[in-house]
Chains A and B, each alone.
Chain A
Amino acid sequence: MADIFYTKDHEWIKVDNGEGVVGITAYASEQLGDIVFVELPQKGMSFDQGKDVAVIESVKAASEIYTPATGEILEINSSLEERPEVINNDPLGSGWLYKMRVLKPEELKSLMSEEDYNKLIGAKS
């Protein structure tokens, strides 16, 4: 059973057996509007928690993605290069951005549970 964590910057990470899948939340996708371009990190690169690793561009603006956890990029969702709108259609599923090896699992405690995240966005809307 994978655990899912959220950042206050609207990323999610689903962690299973030391591997994480990262994406943006439905709330973020809705706020951004039509997504037209995604710039993803390269496989093999390593980042510290909170570092900007990717860029998502909607019709309106460019937004940076900060990695929810420290680790190494294992795989990127290269289908987004041709079809970035998949993030809008399925942000928590096929619109995932990258997979990573989570090197500091203790960091995940600093992230939010689904319940806490829903409270955060509930307060915004």
Chain B
Amino acid sequence: MSELLNENVYVEKTSLFDFHNKMNAKMVSFGGYYLPINYAGGIISEHKHTRSKASIFDVSHMGQIEINGPFVMEAMEKILPISFSRVLPGKIKYTQFINSEGRIIDDLMIHRTNNENSVWLVVNAACKEKDMRHLKKNLNKNFTINLRDDLSLIALQGPKSELALSRVIPCISSMEFMSSIWVNYKNYKVLISRCGYTGEDGFEISIPNKNVTSFTEILLKNPEVKLAGLGARDSLRLEAGLCLYGHDISQEITPLEAGLKWSLDKERLNNADFIGGYAIKDELINGSKRNLLGFLPKGRAPAREGTLIYDSQDNLIGEVTSGGFSPSLSIPISMGYINSSLLDQKEVFLDVRGKKIPTEVVRLPFLSHNYFKKVN
């Protein structure tokens, strides 16, 4: 068998490192951190548990950035394709840092806080330093940009998340999806955000590093809650059709190509008054080069990242950017890009180890989202 384990060069530990080991996690390096790929139950059972109940994921590798200063929202609008006039205080927006060519530097969540001089960002682990440079370059000296590595981040994901978290912090029951609040818990403060990366209802919770293990242990006392690792996180987000930076999106890819037009503010796009705005407006008028789609290869062989996509005449028309086995559907699923001139293909062929697998082209997501909707 080919080599199972890669030796790591230098990898950081999250505050939950000892806890993961105690819980018999299988650790891997990801984004420069040691994190659990799975615990004893394995990826498929953790995946299914998340879809039916609730799971805790350590996502402390993510960068949490606090930016403070007068008129910070106006300043951030010069960098991001969003309009804070359409994001109420306490709400969260999914967006991207875009370069002047209209390509994605990173994707992130931005929180409009109840303090008009403060915004909160959650960015990808591997992009932290790049994002900090981008922010420092594009925000003037009046702003303080603080990478909050004093805080850990855990995600509680799944349909029983609200039930479980409300036993610990009752006030979260009234929260809307894509909103956040600071809550006093015991003698410390936690930031609770109702959002996630699995397609399910759920929360991300920022907790001081020294409190994160005890908080995680308290959450785990809920009978519905188990631990889950990066393996399940990846298969969950793939089923939900959510892009993974460095794979489905990157500095080669534009938001329009990645199907993220919904996240761009229409008026801002029309005015093109943010970094990369002109390039994106131009792409909107002239069309994108390629588009992100879903693929269902026949049979059981997973078609993973890098798998080439052919049309029925054997022309190379695209490439898979994420692919694997869907535990919920029990079939292989992939997402990837097809040249936009060939978008009307209903059937394509994925080259898996030299075999051309007939493959149905589908829209994303593979599994419909199950986000919380408030009933008024």
CB <8 Å contact, B300 and A63: no
CB of A3 within 8 Å of the partner chain: no
Q: How distant is the Cα of A63 from the Cα of B304 in the complex, in angstroms? A: 12
* Contacting residues, chain B, for A65 (C-beta < 8 A): 1
* Contacting residues, chain A, for B301 (C-beta < 8 A): 37, 39, 57
**CB nearest neighbor in A for B38:** A33
CB of B358 within 8 Å of the partner chain: no
Tell me, rounded to whole Å, the shortest Cβ–Cβ distance linking A112 to chain B: 14
CB <8 Å contact, B42 and A33: yes
CB <8 Å contact, A59 and B327: yes
Identify B2's interface contact among A59, A63, A81, CB under 8 A.
Answer: A63
Q: How distant is the Cα of A59 from the Cα of B232 in the complex, in angstroms? A: 9
**CB nearest neighbor in B for A81:** B300
CB of A66 within 8 Å of the partner chain: yes
* Contacting residues, chain A, for B302 (C-beta < 8 A): 36-37, 57, 62
Q: How distant is the Cα of A124 from the Cα of B325 in the complex, in angstroms? A: 28
CB neighbors of A among B27-57 (8 A): 37-38, 42-44
CB <8 Å contact, B1 and A59: no
Identify A57's interface contact among B5, B325, B327, CB under 8 A.
Answer: B325
CB <8 Å contact, A63 and B235: no
Tell me, rounded to whole Å, the shortest Cβ–Cβ distance linking B351 to chain A: 14
Number of B positions contacting A (CB below 8 A): 21
Tell me, rounded to whole Å, the shortest Cβ–Cβ distance linking B359 to chain A: 15
* Contacting residues, chain A, for B285 (C-beta < 8 A): none
CB neighbors of A among B1-25 (8 A): 1-2, 4-5
CB <8 Å contact, A9 and B231: no
CB <8 Å contact, B37 and A63: no
CB of A60 within 8 Å of the partner chain: yes
Q: Mark A72-95, 1 if CB is under 8 A from B, else 0.
A: 000000000100100000000000
CB of B353 within 8 Å of the partner chain: yes
CB <8 Å contact, B300 and A37: yes
Identify A59's interface contact among B4, B300, B324, CB under 8 A.
Answer: B324
Q: Mark A29-71, 1 if CB is under 8 A from B, else 0.
A: 0011110110100000000000000011101111111100000
Tell me, rounded to whole Å, the shortest Cβ–Cβ distance linking A12 to chain B: 11
Given A34-B42, A37-B300, A57-B302, A24 and B1 contact (CB-CB distance below 8 Å) = yes
CB <8 Å contact, B42 and A32: no
* Contacting residues, chain B, for A55 (C-beta < 8 A): 353
**CB nearest neighbor in B for A62:** B304
Q: How distant is the Cα of A100 from the Cα of B26 in the complex, in angstroms? A: 34
Identify B44's interface contact among A59, A63, A64, A124, CB under 8 A.
Answer: A59
* Contacting residues, chain B, for A36 (C-beta < 8 A): 300, 302, 325, 332
* Contacting residues, chain B, for A10 (C-beta < 8 A): 1, 4
CB <8 Å contact, B1 and A60: no
**Central interface residue in A28, A57, A63, by most chain B CB within 10 Å:** A57
Tell me, rounded to whole Å, the shortest Cβ–Cβ distance linking B6 to chain A: 11
Q: How distant is the Cα of A32 from the Cα of B304 in the complex, in angstroms? A: 16
Q: How distant is the Cα of A56 from the Cα of B2 in the complex, in angstroms? A: 10
* Contacting residues, chain A, for B4 (C-beta < 8 A): 10, 28, 31-32, 63
**CB nearest neighbor in A for B327:** A59
**CB nearest neighbor in A for B37:** A60
* Contacting residues, chain B, for A34 (C-beta < 8 A): 42-44
**Central interface residue in B1, B4, B5, B37, by most chain A CB within 10 Å:** B1
* Contacting residues, chain A, for B42 (C-beta < 8 A): 33-34
Tell me, rounded to whole Å, the shortest Cβ–Cβ distance linking A13 to chain B: 13
Identify A64's interface contact among B2, B26, B231, CB under 8 A.
Answer: B2
* Contacting residues, chain A, for B1 (C-beta < 8 A): 9-11, 24, 28, 56, 63-66
Q: How distant is the Cα of A81 from the Cα of B302 in the complex, in angstroms? A: 13
In addition to A36-B300, A36-B325, A63-B4, 18 A-B residue pairs with Cβ atoms within 8 Å of each other are: A9-B1, A28-B1, A31-B4, A32-B4, A33-B43, A33-B231, A36-B302, A37-B301, A39-B353, A56-B1, A57-B325, A59-B43, A59-B44, A59-B324, A60-B231, A62-B302, A62-B304, A81-B300
Pairs A–B under 8 Å by Cβ, sample size 22: A9-B1, A9-B2, A10-B1, A11-B1, A33-B26, A33-B43, A34-B43, A34-B44, A36-B302, A37-B300, A37-B325, A37-B332, A39-B301, A59-B231, A60-B37, A60-B43, A60-B231, A61-B304, A64-B1, A64-B2, A81-B300, A124-B5
> Which 8 pairs from chain A and chain B are nearest by CB?
A36-B325, A59-B43, A34-B44, A9-B1, A31-B4, A37-B300, A10-B1, A64-B2
